[in-house]
Amino acid sequence: MNTVITQIEIDGFKTFKDFKVELAPFQVIVGPNGSGKSNLFDALHLLSRLAEYDVQTAFQDLRGDASDQFTKYADGSRSEKIRFAVEMLLNRTVQNINGGDILSEDSFEPIREVALEYTRLRYELEITFRQEEIYVLHPFQITHESLTSITGEDAWSKKYIPSSNNTYLQGMSEKPDIFIETIRRSLSENIQKANNREVELNQQVILLLPDRDKRSKIKRFYAGELQRTILSRTDDIIYPHVLAVREELQSLKFFSLNADALHRPSAINASSILKTDGSNLPTTLARIQAEDEASFYMISLDMTSLVNSITDIEVFRSDAMNKYLIRATTSDQRSFLADVLSDGTLRLLAFATLRNDPRATGILCIEEPENGVEPLYLNKIARLLKEMVTDFHEPEQSEPLRQVICNTHSSLLVSQPEVIDSLLFTFVPTQIQGKNSPALRVTRMAAVATPVTVIESKDEKRPVEAFTIDMVRKYLDSDTLQEASNQLQKAKTLLHEGSQK
């Protein structure tokens, strides 16, 4: 899978209210525990599940109950709606996951792949939580869903993709094309029913619209009866842009490597795509070695350059155990199995595997990569993470599309040269809702840079906190919550004074 999320907007989910942030190909999100940096991964995880499952199932297996995903206010009430919007850069083609049962009009051969007219798309989704007892069986309602192309005024592409690289940008137009649309009334006399029901005034209908080839048909859905997103129910190649976004969101990968799991052998029949906790690392390496020996060699080569004492990495099969095992050879010709290697060495091996695995494409979300790692390894982990991502300035490295988003609370990791220019600082200011409304603590993210940056809120342009790397380090290294709060307030005061000069 090949995609990059270039911007995400969240409202009504956990600590997010009117939240919007631009994401770089390599993005490190730094902040103390409790600031909401993990909530961003939770939001992406929910969005990924909503692209695959019905809404009720999608809200299962998240941190907390379904109701816990909706913003909780100071008076104990919760938001009624969650709204997501993501802007994406996609690969230029999409595969026919139906196995080729659609025939080409020219050759009558099965269509295996379709070129996308647009590679910059915006997807929006709004879900309402109906808490009345009458809705106990189906408490969630999809109240808005849309998918459109992004117009030629595309600031992200201008910022990250040089004009000389025409590999990915495709179909930039002045007006957006619409592939999914939500309407409150019929657009014409021909659209008076959805799911064979009369559509009353102000009731929502969600339309699945054809691409320009016109081989696809308009499909209409009565929003009040939908138990899953239009995205999740569309697997037909005749709606290629919808299919592409569905596949890419489904394929988001989340990693929280577990030291104990990395030390163990893995079953021969385990999944050969690296799992969230890294527990199948030996099986993943065995698959890479069988499929692409050059990639496996690069993993071993990476390890010899990252860990001075290692000269070779092997993976072998134990028929007695029916498992794959990892073995490292050191410069003194001794061999060690993974169970005696250090946590840091195995984390480096997992990241080297992700970097060189041809199947590890798309969006990789990595939780606190510094966990269990000695400080001397942090610069090497930072370099590996950055080298995983697509470099749009190097044409030979522009494929496949790959984005790395990781979060951390390590002041040592954020001090590494490889990550300093990729930082977003997460903090939780108190937002005043109005004279008669209680204050609300919300998650915000700001650039880590010298100048004050300006982003747009819903209502107006306002200066937003931007922090220097020294301010961030002082905040993370604070011994107490009060000291951390004082550091943050001091930083904000300095920034506001600087913005007025």
Contact predicate 465/444, CB 8 Å: yes
Q: Report the predicted TM-score, pTM, of the whole model to 2 decimal places.
A: 0.87
- CB neighbours of 122 closer than 8 A, spacing ≥ 6? 85, 86, 87, 88, 146, 147, 148, 149, 150, 176
Cα distance between residue 283 and residue 297, in whole Å: 16
Q: pLDDT at position 453, please?
A: 43
φ, ψ dihedrals at 360, nearest 5°: -85, 70
Res 187: pLDDT: 46
Which residue ranges make up each domain of the chain? 3-13+54-250, 256-415, 424-499
Tokens 């080297």 locate to: 352
Q: What percent of the chain has pLDDT over 70?
A: 79
The one-digit pLDDT tens for each residue of the chain (501 residues) are 688 999 999 999 998 999 999 999 999 999 877 778 889 999 999 999 999 999 999 998 888 888 889 888 877 788 889 999 999 999 888 887 665 455 455 544 556 788 899 999 999 999 998 876 656 677 888 999 999 999 877 889 889 988 877 777 776 677 889 999 999 765 444 444 444 444 444 578 999 998 865 566 789 998 878 889 999 999 888 899 999 999 999 999 999 999 999 999 999 999 999 999 999 999 999 999 999 999 999 999 999 999 989 999 999 999 999 999 999 999 999 999 999 999 999 999 999 999 999 999 999 999 999 988 888 889 999 999 999 998 888 766 656 799 999 999 888 898 888 888 889 988 877 665 555 555 678 888 888 864 434 344 444 444 445 677 887 887 787 655 456 556 666 655 554 454 444
Distance CA 433, CA 17 (A): 11
- Which residues are CB-neighbours of 17 under 8 A, at least 6 positions away? 11, 71, 431, 440, 442
**Residues constituting the chain:** 501
**Digit-coded pLDDT (tens) for 44-88:** 999 999 999 999 999 988 888 888 898 888 777 888 899 999 999
Residues 204-251: pLDDT tens digits?
899 999 886 556 678 999 887 888 999 999 988 889 999 999 999 999
Instruction: Find out whether 452 and 463 touch, Cβ atoms under 8 Å.
Output: yes
**Beta carbons within 10 angstroms of residue 450's beta carbon:** 10
Q: Minimal CA–CA distance to 147: which of 85, 64, 75, 212?
A: 85
**Domain spanning 256-415: CATH 3.40.50.880:** no
- 356 with 302: CB under 8 angstroms? yes
158 in Cβ contact with 138 (< 8 Å): no
CA distance 143 to 401: 32
Residue 293's CB is within 10 A of a number of other CB atoms, namely 10
Which of 195, 265, 250 lies closest to 224 in space, CA to CA? 195
Question: How does strand 113-115 pair with strand 120-129?
Answer: unpaired
> Which residue type occupies 490?
K
Residue type, 501: K
CA distance 149 to 130: 31
**Phi, psi (degrees; rounded to nearest 5) at 91:** -65, 160
Is 363 within 8 Å of 3 (Cβ atoms)?
A: yes
What would the DSSP string read from start to end of 367-423? E-TTTT--GGGHHHHHHHHHHHS--TT-GGG--S-EEEEEEE--HHHHTSHHHHTTE
φ, ψ for residue 95 (rounded to 5)? -85, 150
Closest by CA to 94, choosing from 152, 179, 188, is 179
Torsion of CA 316, 317, 321, 323, to 10 degrees: 90
Of 124, 119, 118, 126, whose CA–CA distance to 146 is shortest? 124
Angle made by CA atoms 398, 403, 405, in degrees to the nearest 5? 155
Contact 18, 11 (CB under 8 A): yes
Q: Write the secondary structure of 206-261 as one string of H (helix), E (strand) and C (coil).
A: EEECCCCCCCCCCEEEEHHHCCCCHHHHCCCCCCHHHHHHHHHHHCCEEECCCHHH
Beta bridge partners of residue 316, listed in sequence order: 325
Residue 405 tokens read as 């988003």
Mean pLDDT of the chain: 83
* Beta-carbon contacts of residue 341 (< 8 Å; ≥ 6 apart): 263, 326, 328
Amino acid in the structure at residue 462: R
